[in-house]
A and B are shown apart, each in its own frame.
Chain A
Amino acid sequence: MLTRSTLLSIALFQAALLAVGFLVSGNNYYMLLLTQVALFAAFVAAWNIIGGLTGQLDLASSAYMALGGIVTSLLWMRLGLPPVVGVWAGGAVAAGLAVLIGIPTFRFGVREVWYALMTASLVVILNNLFRYFMGPWDFYLPNKWGWLYLRPRTYFELFIIVDVVLLAVILVNIYISGSKIGYYLRNIKEDELVSEAIGVDTRLYKLIALAIYSFITGAAGFLQVVIYSSFSYRLFDAGLAISIAIMGIIGGLGSISGAIAAAMVFRALGEYLRSTLGGVIPGLDLLLYGVALIVVGILKPEGLAGLFNQLRRWWRK
């Protein structure tokens, strides 16, 4: 659970993140970049619950993000429900869809590659469905600002909101990890047959993991809409869902610190490469992910988490 060393690392991480925030607060581009990176890390941290802890290679992250974001936006624009309330509804709708799909998926034992393909296709299906109903347009958020709409006037304040969300997702991860649910999820990842034999309702617990992950992703989805100031069917982005999963894998499946480190380093690097060399060599950021995956696969299959552990051991010597 919350030991002193985890508490200390969270505090250090927060201090560092806020320090960077203060440092770049004068520059809107860097501020927005940092906010985007932190939000991406929050999505990866949420994915860690289903992908890292439970071992289900879920590729539908962006589907829940987009669905939650769009629901929250529409509730605001059509019904006047302020997003500070609406995000909970957005999360609930995302989790509702996830559970609805999850029940038959887990009932019929869809797993591994098949689970990955099924979840990936969910993003594509929703992408097409929303393009059909929404058309190809971008819908802009109303010209209203304030905390009530989770849409502050400055990027720095937006960064603070995202940072709080990231911190909350990290704490949820740590809490789950130390609880009965976490023990059961990790055991499901190891061996479903053994889990059943020692009394784990594997279907139920996979559904719980799926619901928590999709709820968080859906609720945080609106912040992505806020960063873009608009939404369209393109939010259902298969590439984004895959890169979220990739970060979880590079980080070392199941390790929250590794997942967040991978998310932040690679997203920032990718973004940097895109802005500097993107015009010269398009797709360089994607190439970087690929290279990182190969390097991790060969040298450190446990991911960055393995590296952290090694460093920790080396430090103690």
Chain B
Amino acid sequence: MTKRFGGVVALNDVTLSVGRGEIVGLIGPNGSGKTTLFNCITGVYKPDKGRVFFMGRDITGLQPHEVAKLGIARTWQKVRPFRNLTVLEAVTTGALLRTDSVEEARKTAVEVLELIGLPREEWGRLGSEITLMEHKLVDLARALATGPKLLLLDEIAAGLRPHEQERLAEVIKKVWSDRGLTLVVVEHVMRFVMSLSKRVVVLHEGRVIAEGPPEEVASNPRVIEAYLGIKPV
């Protein structure tokens, strides 16, 4: 897949395949094309070249809401706060994708919120009243409420303290096994990725430069060069 913005080649002939039930870590320095890849998969952008397949179906060029309906959900790198909705309302809105009944959607939302372990007293709060960690959890819950098969997590650990990151990783693992999801985790925090995924793909300047188990990838000279800008001695 290739995506250009003017003269900038954000994705250069990237190929990525993810198996059912896998947790794939997608890492790379800033501007390496991770979020652009997500945006091309979810229909926010249309790739200039290449195709996106989901469960054997060509979904290239579908609109984001159609992609969501097929079962791909995502979270956002930059927290996109909802100010005037409560936590429960926000998650309920996600659940309305699979039902027309608000009652039913609310039930789904309650299940999901319990699954990710957000305390009940937070549910009635407005988006303007909750912490960053809670925002990340709600973002995750809202995505889960849409009933996805594939979940794309875009730097969900960014900005969190180490113990919060650990908790989040636990929640994600729980959700993954409980729902039988497939996950693609974009992340900067290497420890976070390593604790989650068995396979890591490294993007650099729009190309895949390495792929494999996390320990192997972390010691790959090309990866170190991409991150530090120097050749290891």
A residues with CB within 8 A of B: 178-180, 183-184, 186-187, 189-191, 193-202, 254
Contacts of B142 in A (CB 8 A): 194, 198
Contacts of A180 in B (CB 8 A): 96, 100-102, 105
Q: Could you say which of B42, B82, B96, B105 contacts A191, with CB atoms under 8 Å apart? A: B82
Contacts of A190 in B (CB 8 A): 82-85, 127
Compute how far the CA of A179 lies from the CA of B64 in the bound complex, rounded to whole angstroms.
23
Sample 29 A-B pairs with CB under 8 A, ordered by A number.
A180-B100, A183-B89, A183-B92, A183-B102, A183-B105, A184-B93, A184-B96, A186-B84, A186-B93, A187-B82, A187-B93, A190-B82, A190-B85, A190-B127, A193-B64, A193-B80, A194-B82, A195-B65, A195-B93, A196-B43, A196-B44, A197-B42, A197-B68, A197-B74, A198-B94, A198-B146, A199-B69, A201-B63, A201-B65
Residue of A nearest to B101 (CB): A180
B65 pairs with A199, CB closer than 8 A: yes
Contacts of B43 in A (CB 8 A): 196
Q: A183-B102, A193-B44 are in contact. Are A198 and B93 (CB under 8 A)?
A: yes
At the interface, is chain A mostly helix, strand, loop or mixed? helix
Contacts of A189 in B (CB 8 A): 84
Closest 9 CB pairs of A and B: A199-B68, A199-B97, A196-B64, A190-B82, A198-B94, A183-B93, A201-B65, A187-B93, A196-B65
Contacts of A179 in B (CB 8 A): 102
**Per-position binary interface string of chain B over residues 122-145, scored 1 when its CB falls under 8 Å from any chain A CB and 0 otherwise:** 000001000000000000001101
Compute how far the CA of A189 lies from the CA of B84 in the bound complex, rounded to whole angstroms.
10
Residue of B nearest to A187 (CB): B93
Contacts of A186 in B (CB 8 A): 84-85, 89, 93
B residues with CB within 8 A of A: 42-44, 63-65, 68-69, 73-74, 76, 80, 82-85, 89-90, 92-94, 96-97, 100-102, 105, 127, 142-143, 145-146
Contacts of B42 in A (CB 8 A): 197
Contacts of B44 in A (CB 8 A): 193, 196
Compute how far the CA of A238 lies from the CA of B97 in the bound complex, rounded to whole angstroms.
38
Contacts of A195 in B (CB 8 A): 65, 93
**Separation in Å of the A184 CB from the closest CB of chain B?**
7
A194 pairs with B146, CB closer than 8 A: no
Residue of B nearest to A254 (CB): B84
Contacts of B102 in A (CB 8 A): 178-180, 183
B143 pairs with A198, CB closer than 8 A: yes
B82 pairs with A198, CB closer than 8 A: no
Compute how far the CA of A254 lies from the CA of B92 in the bound complex, rounded to whole angstroms.
19
Residue of B nearest to A198 (CB): B94
Q: Could you say which of B65, B80, B101 contacts A200, with CB atoms under 8 Å apart? A: B65
Contacts of B73 in A (CB 8 A): 197-198
Residue of B nearest to A192 (CB): B64
Contacts of A200 in B (CB 8 A): 65, 93, 97
Compute how far the CA of A195 lies from the CA of B105 in the bound complex, rounded to whole angstroms.
16
Compute how far the CA of A178 lies from the CA of B105 in the bound complex, rounded to whole angstroms.
12
Contacts of A193 in B (CB 8 A): 44, 64, 80
Contacts of A196 in B (CB 8 A): 43-44, 63-65, 68
A194 pairs with B63, CB closer than 8 A: no
**Separation in Å of the B215 CB from the closest CB of chain A?**
33
Compute how far the CA of A183 lies from the CA of B93 in the bound complex, rounded to whole angstroms.
6
